[in-house]
Amino acid sequence: MSCSVEEVRLSLPHIELAAHLFGPQDGLPVIALHGWLDNANSFARLAPKLKGLRILALDMAGHGHSDHRPAGAGYGLPDYAHDVLQVAQQMGWEKFSLLGHSLGAIVSVIIAGALPERINRLALIDGLIPPLGEPEGAAERMGAALQAQLTQSSKRKPVYTDMDRAVEARMKGVVAVSREAAELLAQRGLMPVPGGYTWRSDSRLTLASATRLTRAQALSFVNAIRCPAQLVVAEEGMLAQNQTLLESVPFEVTALPGGHHLHLNDEAGASAVADCFNRFFAVP
């Protein structure tokens, strides 16, 4: 991780986002998107190992050092996709590649499927399609989501007396990560408050989606992808148990040892993912 990284801020028409910029100026343009409640440091181990790429690793809206969306706005997949397209426009990248982990992989698939002419290559880490819904439950889901939005403002984020307690909480989160991974995410994700530290992320990120795609709708994005694509599946991650879905993927799928954050948990995992993607990006 001794690679030079530049901290940048992107003032978009609707929001200001923070990012890390890796790699040579003449490298192939890549926008990297992290997972839910993570931040740009998700790529701190991986990005320096990728060759010949100009990687812009975003703090997605509501995460890390990026702005939160204004009151009344949400964090839907189309909103994230819009952010990415605005970022590409500001960078002057008419065509670019996407590197996504988890939520970031899902957003990447949405963009690559909706606007296939804009994307050169698609590199995905343990993420593909969003959680699915059935048409019959749409009204109930919408009602529950609306009610949760009304009560969200009264909730307070936990405050940890010191950074180590926050790191330990992140290690035991919804998706467990190694201590080193939690420390990297905490470097960018924590902020001081009276009584200790809390996470910078927007508390609205924990709200359930008001709508969900059906399986057919989600797979329509996967099947609309026209660029070379590769999916890395963590053998102990979230996708490995869904063999039916993986067998339907119309591009290369590679299984590697490790958990959901295999690219961040340790150097061995980061190196394995980097070896895979270096071969992928090197193919003409």
The CATH number of whichever domain residue 217 belongs to comes to: 3.40.50.1820
The domain in which residue 35 lies consists of 6-132+202-282
Higher-pLDDT residue of 224 and 152 is 224
Paired with 231 in beta bridges are 124, 253
- Total number of domains in the chain: 1
Global pTM value? 0.96
Beta strands in 62-118 (DSSP E): 96-101
What does the pLDDT read at residue 221?
98
Tell me, yes or no, whether 244 lies in a domain. Answer: yes
Q: What angle do CA 88, 94, 98 make, to 5 degrees?
A: 55
Q: For residue 155, tell me if it sits in a domain.
A: no
Contact in structure between 227 and 122 (CB atoms under 8 Å): yes
Give residue-wise pLDDT tens across range 159-208.
Answer: 999 999 999 999 998 899 999 999 999 999 999 999 999 999 999 999 99
Helix (H, G, I), strand (E, B) or coil at 240: coil
Mean pLDDT, residues 97-113: 98
Mean pLDDT of 85-93: 98
Q: What pLDDT shows up at residue 3?
A: 61
DSSP-derived 3-state class of residue 72: coil
| Residue 119: other Cβ atoms inside 10 A | 24
**Range with the poorest average pLDDT among 2-11, 96-105, 219-228, 240-249:** 2-11
Q: Classify residue 277: in a domain, yes or no.
A: yes
CB 147 within 8 A of CB 208: no
* 45-55 pLDDT tens trace: 999 999 999 99
| Residue 108 appears among annotated catalytic residues | no
Q: Which of 102, 108, 201, 209 is catalytic?
A: 102
Q: Give dist(CA 18, CA 10) in Å, integer.
A: 6
How is residue 264 written in tokens? 């961040």
Interval 129-158: pLDDT, tens: 999 999 999 999 999 999 999 888 778 889
233 domain residue, yes or no: yes
Beta pairing partners, 21:
6, 56
Task: Determine the Cα–Cα distance for residues 192 and 167; give it in Å rounded to an integer.
Answer: 14
Of the pLDDT bands very low, low, confident and very high (cuts 50, 70, 90), residue 4 is: confident
C-alpha to C-alpha distance for 125 and 232, rounded to whole angstroms: 5
Residue 218 CA from chain centroid, whole number: 17
